[in-house]
Amino acid sequence: MLKKTLVTFASLLLLIGAGCGASVTSNGSVDSMPTPSEQPAPTPAPTSTDTSGSAKTYAMTEVATHKDGTSCWSTINGSVYDLTTWIPQHPGGSQAIAALCGKDGTAAFNGQHGGSAMQENKLATFKIGVLKK
């Protein structure tokens, strides 16, 4: 009896510590977690290419006010990016990004990186909205 109680207690502690959502019944058996079909589907995160009405929009005049290393915004392919933190990290040198601050950087970005998934994905991490049309 004591051994069964200790095993049940140890199982309970493991389950709580793991946070798995399973539970131990009064008779010592373990209820399993719900199957994936019983769990609610996760809400998908918005994609960086989301240009729906939920994305914040900026006018080019506002982007133009963020034109130096203390606040560097640029537009690329119709999206607005805050590149301030990327300036000192850019592998091609800070001047490559500093030249885009407050401007439309589409031609420069596409000319250097156009079609590269790695650079497109990195750029997406800096997206703050879309350019007003």
Residues 62, 20 share a domain: no
Q: Is the pTM of this model over 0.75?
A: no
Q: What does the pLDDT look like over 77-102, one tens digit per residue? A: 999 999 999 999 999 999 999 999 99
Q: How many domains does the chain have?
A: 2
* 90 or 50, higher pLDDT: 90
7 with 72, same domain?
Answer: no
Collapsed DSSP state (helix, strand, coil) of residue 86: helix
Residue-range definition of the domain harbouring residue 126: 57-131
Q: Facing residues of 57 across strands?
A: 130
If asked whether residues 73 and 18 sit together in one domain, one would say: no
Nearest to 114 by CA among 103, 125, 106: 106
- In this structure, is residue 111 part of a structural domain? yes
